[in-house]
Amino acid sequence: MFTTRPLDGPFGVAITGGLDVRAPLSPEAVEEIDRLMDEHALVLIRDQPMTTEEQLAFTRQFGPLDIGFKKVVMKQARNAEAEVGDISNLGRDGKPAARTDKRILNNIANQLWHSDSSFQKPAAKYSMLHSVRTPSWGGETEFADLRAAYDALDPRIRDLVNDRMAEHFALHSRFLLGDDSYDADQIAAIDPAMWPVVRTNPRTGRRHLFIGVHARRIEGMTVPEGRMILLDLLEHATAPRFVYRHTWKEGDTLIWDNRQTLHRGRHFDLDEPRELRRTTTLDDRAPELALAG
């Protein structure tokens, strides 16, 4: 149905023909993209600029929308603004915001390796990041393949983590960056979520790690031991051999599977405009709540 080519990296695929993101998709096209996501976990679409409304319409074809961290930072969580993640450094006047602006502080946390909304149940399924404006340098996004990382684990580490549960907490990454400005209501806005450290894709049967900066402890271990194991797993999973690095062009859209990948943004000059727009769907794979088995 679509023509594709591999990305220039260890995983991922680009759709090079047969897809118009601004037109409604047939059920067969949705299923084909789902198949590509299961197989590749990362899909790139080049040179198809979208408005916010077009991006929302495209994303909704893959499931209900997720608002994730905005449950913490927005008083009115469910509205059109909440359904779009503004991954930019721009203020309402369209100019780069001050470095002390809360939006900048929040987006700096995106430079830590994470899976969107792993801190809630259900967590995120697909995220779709669309490039509107790019800076003159920097601002790339990196993606780590948690399937290949699991396959390459030392068998003794694999045995250690296969049946373990980890707790993911929404504000763990913010506290790591020294942002302690959240009040009691915001801290309580999203209960911590327990997830298996190793999960299985029920459509393919392939196992993968499920970790990232939101994971703060492993059940049944002391906090120091669990955190060191989580840090070791994160270091392993984000080694260069597992990572695709994307240099953005305006009109790019990248779709990734949050259940099988980690991602992070890279540094750029905050005095230059950079604008990306993210939409995210909620996970619909209930069988994955079970341990890898």
Quote the pLDDT of residue 74: 60
d(CA 290, CA 90): 41
CATH number for the domain including 133?
3.60.130.10
pLDDT band, residue 288 (cuts 50/70/90): very low
Quote the pLDDT of residue 80: 58
Quote the pLDDT of residue 293: 38
**Integer CA distances (angstroms), 286 to 123, 202, 283, in order:** 11, 10, 8
Q: Decide if 167 is inside a domain.
A: no
Q: Decide if 33 is inside a domain.
A: yes
Nearest in space to 136 (alpha carbons), one of 250, 48, 14:
250
Q: Decide if 17 is inside a domain.
A: yes
Quote the pLDDT of residue 86: 84
Mean pLDDT of the chain: 91
Question: 208 CB contacts (<8 Å, ≥6 apart)?
Answer: 146, 147, 149, 150, 198, 199, 200, 201, 259, 260
Quote the pLDDT of residue 112: 95
Domain with 278 in it: 3-160+239-284
Domain count of the fold of the chain: 1
- Beta-carbon count within 10 A of 53 CB: 11
Quote the pLDDT of residue 289: 44
Quote the pLDDT of residue 177: 87
Residue with tokens 């990454």: 173
- Beta-carbon count within 10 A of 158 CB: 16
Q: Decide if 207 is inside a domain.
A: no
pLDDT band, residue 291 (cuts 50/70/90): very low
Quote the pLDDT of residue 186: 86
Q: Decide if 210 is inside a domain.
A: no
Q: Decide if 289 is inside a domain.
A: no
Q: Decide if 64 is inside a domain.
A: yes
Q: What is the pLDDT of residues 59-82, one digit of tens each?
A: 999 999 998 776 666 655 455 567
Q: What is the pLDDT of residues 111-140, one digit of tens each?
A: 999 999 999 999 999 999 999 999 999 999
Nearest in space to 278 (alpha carbons), one of 100, 27, 23, 106:
106
Supply the DSSP symbol for 236.
H
Question: 110 CB contacts (<8 Å, ≥6 apart)?
Answer: 87, 264, 265
Question: 128 CB contacts (<8 Å, ≥6 apart)?
Answer: 55, 58, 59, 253, 254, 255, 278, 279, 280
pLDDT band, residue 43 (cuts 50/70/90): very high
Whether the CB-CB separation of 199 and 208 falls below 8 Å is answered with yes
Lowest-pLDDT range of 52-56, 80-84, 164-168: 80-84
Nearest in space to 130 (alpha carbons), one of 263, 280, 19:
280
Output the DSSP codes for 52-76: HHHHHHHHHTTS-B--TTHHHH-SS
Q: Is the pLDDT of residue 206 over 90?
A: yes
Q: Decide if 219 is inside a domain.
A: no
Q: Is the pLDDT of residue 252 over 80?
A: yes
Structure tokens at 227: 């955190």
